[in-house]
Amino acid sequence: MKRFVALLLAVPAVLFAGALEELMPRPKEVVPAAGSWRYHEAGVSQMEVTAEELAALGKEGYILTVSQTGARWAGHEGNAKATLRQLEKLSKGRLPCGTIRDWPTLPWRGMLHDTGRNWQPIGLLKEQLCVMADYKLNLFQWHITDNHGWRLQSKRYPQLSRPENLDRTDRFYTQAEFKELIAYAKALGITVLPELDVPGHTACFRRAFGLKRMDEPQVREIITNLFDELTELLDPEVTPFIHIGSDEVKPHERVPGEWLTGWVKQLEAKGFKVVAWGPGQNPPGLEKPLIRQYWMGRQVRRPNNEPYFDSQSSYYINHVDPLELLAPAAFLKPCLTGPTENHLGAIFAVWHDDAVAKPEDILTMNPVYPAMVLYSDNFWNGRERDVMRYYANLPDPREADFALPAELERRLLAHKPLFKGKPFPYWPQTQMRWRMAETAAELPFAELPWGERIIAQGTLYPQHFFFSQTNLTNGKSGCVWFGTVVNSDREQTVDLIADFMNYSRSDGRSRDAGLVKGQWNAKGAQLLLNGKPVPPPTWRQPGISGGDSREKPLVDEIWTVRAPLRVTLRKGRNELLLKLPRKGWKWSATCFFPEAKGLTFEPPAAAQK
């Protein structure tokens, strides 16, 4: 079995026939064979393998063989049939023959949804669970309470779900709906991790009980009763873990440590394992460590005896541009520190702290479905290396490392047609060829001091807002230019997507100046095509910024929810230029052609040294 381990953890040297080379996550072993088979359900059967073969695959490993007479599987039925479903869709029903042997590197692979801030209907969550199952994601973290709402019905304390105590919407989940979703997820092979977030993020809780602080004496009994009520709805054989939150606890929310310890022991006594955020308020005196979910990146020290899973900033898809998913999916290694036996896995998070006009906007404004596809590979296969300089910066296309994200993007785009009717905000970007110039001077395209590095991505930044990564060489100008040469095989009018704010969907507008009528942003950004300015859209909500902005849903401020620009390219050479002065939180832009037929891209010539 060892001979298969490294086969597809890196970009494969040999591409396999048809849909076999488009599967996500990438299988660890694929042996193609001649011919194909027209899929029909009656032609799928289980095959006999030795106990030794099954043991070598592990708990979730599987074997799938497609021949010209049918498909047979062994091992984990759910994962084998998820692969079969993908093959059937990718090949339009004519499956290529071959044998797949595959197993996960990490046991926990999932997605978090914050329905405490923004409620989502059960039907919409079920749709997402179905897609998770297709991509072998097996853990759904249901962040069900937060400042804006305690979204799980309590029959002991019905005031928690009264309209006057809920923000943004008065919707919540009945106990019957809660149990229904857990059963639905189980049928798909997905474990639900319910999270009642205490003692932080509890404004709704405090409103319901008229409390100013969380250390008031009655809080201990109320939370104890709420955890009792929660466990009455759960079977630890089906839902073995309960998340108690405990992060971002403000001074007025801190509780005595022994309260937290008591709640942990209460849940453990009922047969549940307890999960908590790290960093967060720690319950003292426990005999064994909690399972920790880390959200602060690699700088957090982790005890060697502590099982944990990652939800780092690069997995917070509400903060990044959709095109930024590719780099961390390719180069971030989950569970970097501590003994391997404590590496549980990773979960990407859909927080969307800001209000939305309707629940479906969560999926339109955040790359939920592209993240499922891309991170399925990262979480299933892990990564051989952890390359910090690539967390948001794709490698220069002249480097060997560029092959991995290019291959992942190719596979991702093969899956995009399978999401017909669902929002899938991702388009090809690795064909772009930019260079950056550091100067505030207004110079002709050819005279700008273009750097040596070629940037092959659609979201561009001089200095990333999350990471230490930078494309700057001196950082003194306070202004940069990005330029690319667009070669068109004919004169044509095409779509162009451009965005100079790249707003987060979590307090993004509170950290930056609002949009200005007639301008790309308040910072003086410009977009020029062949030396002529390309005007911005007519903003529907100019001027919105500050703390109150989080309660005003985004309308057209981000590119995923507005129509592309229409620009005319002349036949032959076209010069596309972006000017980015530095001000505010995010110093970045997104610019790419979503349908690049007849277009090729080359970087401007590097400045002579």
CA 126 to chain centre: 18
pLDDT value at residue 13: 31
Report which of 321, 326, 329 is spatially closest to residue 380, judged by C-alpha positions: 329
| Cβ-based neighbour number of residue 10 at 10 Å | 15
Pairing of strands 308-310, 459-460: unpaired
Give residue 573's identity as a one-letter amino acid code. R
CA distances from 350 to 149, 172, 505 (A): 16, 18, 10
pLDDT value at residue 196: 98
All residue ranges of the chain with pLDDT < 70 are 1-17, 297-302, 313
DSSP designation for 92: T
- Give the long-range contacts of residues 168-171, CB within 8 A, separation 24 or more: 168/117, 168/118, 168/119, 168/355, 168/551, 169/118, 169/119, 171/119, 171/121
What burial letters (b/e) apply to 274-304, b meaning 16+ CB within 10 Å? bbbbbbbbebeeeeebbbbbbbeeeeeebee
pLDDT value at residue 338: 85
Give pTM, 2 decimals.
0.95
**Alpha carbons 193 and 291: distance in angstroms, whole number:** 12
pLDDT value at residue 6: 37
428 SS3 class = coil
515 contacts 557 by C-beta, under 8 angstroms: yes
Pairing of strands 291-294, 308-310: parallel
**Alpha carbons 245 and 314: distance in angstroms, whole number:** 20
223 contacts 154 by C-beta, under 8 angstroms: no
Pairing of strands 565-569, 599-602: unpaired
Give residue 515's identity as a one-letter amino acid code. L
**Alpha carbons 113 and 607: distance in angstroms, whole number:** 47
408 contacts 576 by C-beta, under 8 angstroms: no
- Do you find a cis peptide bond into 199, omega within 30 degrees of 0? yes
**Alpha carbons 263 and 231: distance in angstroms, whole number:** 12
Contacts of 92 (CB under 8 A, 6+ apart): none
Q: Is 197 exposed, middle or buried (0-12, 13-18, 19+ CB in 10 A)?
A: buried
CA 84 to chain centre: 24
Average pLDDT, the chain: 94
Partners of 483 in beta bridges: 435, 577
483 contacts 604 by C-beta, under 8 angstroms: yes
Contacts of 58 (CB under 8 A, 6+ apart): 103, 104
- Give the long-range contacts of residues 212-219, CB within 8 A, separation 24 or more: 212/252, 213/252, 213/253, 214/252, 214/253, 214/254, 214/255, 215/254, 215/255, 215/256, 219/255, 219/259
| φ, ψ (nearest 5 deg) of residue 495 | -80, 140
CA distances from 365 to 446, 453, 588 (A): 37, 31, 18
DSSP letters of 298-336?
Answer: GGS---TT--EEE--GGGBTTTS-GGGGHHHHHH--SS-
> What are 486's two structure tokens?
């667009």
**Alpha carbons 215 and 222: distance in angstroms, whole number:** 12
DSSP designation for 351: -
Helices (H), 421-555: 508-511
**Alpha carbons 116 and 351: distance in angstroms, whole number:** 9
**Alpha carbons 407 and 394: distance in angstroms, whole number:** 13
pLDDT value at residue 497: 98
